Structure 1
């Protein structure tokens, strides 16, 4: 009856209190009946064994899903890594193309300077400020 005193403060209808009392007595009565037949014990053992097998099966399924997810993550990492490597290679090709273009432009600039010096009749080895100014305007 200690339960009755402890739970008396919980607001509950009289009907609910009666139902709870009935359930309590039914539970206490079932605890008192420990003398079960061997058939009940074997049934409970087989039921327990089935539940254990079910838990093992669920755990194995969970582990399999985790392994599949890990493999999927690894594949995504590999794809990203390959994509990054191809991007870096593409940037290296672009850099080489830019350097080649820069080299061609410098050669053309030197050619323009040489032709301009020849047209003006000056020595190709001399660098005059007016020539640099004319080249900048071109």
Structure 2
């Protein structure tokens, strides 16, 4: 019956308390006893060699974690460098293509002007054609 006093503090509805049987509470009590026993046993059995082993494993884990973080940092730096290289290549290629595009556009505008002048057939229409091309 000590389990009832012990587990009364657990918030449950009345119907839920009815479903939970004494065996459930006993199981919970047994699992707590087992953990207490294993902790006591660990303290009793803990000799100098085991303690050194634990410390060594902990140092290994810390070293592995530092190595992992260093690799992550290196990876980030490498990706950032690749991105900068990529951006620089794109910028240089655009700088090379822009003058070519500008020259093609100017030739096209000259061609448009020439065609419109020929279609209008008058020299006085050149001003109107220039205005029309400016609007386009």
TM-score (norm 2): 0.55
Q: Paired residues, what number?
A: 110
Of 85, 92, 106, which residue of structure 2 is paired with 1:82? 92
Unpaired segments of 5 or more residues in structure 1? 115-126, 128-138
- The 5-angstrom pairing of residues 113-124 of structure 1 reads 113=122
SS of 2:46's partner is coil
The residue aligned with 1:131 is: none
In 2 relative to 1, CA 93–70 (structure 1 residues): closer, same or farther, beyond 3 Å?
Answer: same
Q: Using a 3 Å threshold, how does the CA distance of structure 1 residues 64 and 30 change in structure 2: closer, same or farther?
A: farther
Q: Structure 2 regions of 5+ residues with no counterpart?
A: 1-5, 125-136
Task: Between the two structures, name the one with larger relative contact order (CA 8 Å, sep ≥ 6).
Answer: 2
Match of 1:68 in 2: 78
- Alpha-carbon distance, 1:93 to partner: 1.6
Q: Indicate the residue corresponding to 1:49 in structure 2.
A: 59
Match of 1:22 in 2: 33
Q: Could you say if the C-alpha distance between residues 16 and 83 of structure 1 is closer, same or farther in structure 2, counting changes exceeding 3 Å? A: farther
- Offset at residue 78 of structure 1 (A): 2.1
Which structure has the greater CA radius of gyration? Answer: 1
Between 1:62-71 and 1:37-46, the stretch displaced more is 37-46
| Correspondences of 1:1-20 after superposition (within 5 Å) | 4-5=6-7, 8-9=10-11, 13-14=24-25, 16-20=27-31
Distance 2:70 2:88 in 1: 27
TM-score, normalised to structure 1, is: 0.55
Q: Deviations over 1:17-41 (max 9, x none)?
A: 145323431354257x278322122
C-alpha displacement at 1:84, in angstroms? 3.0
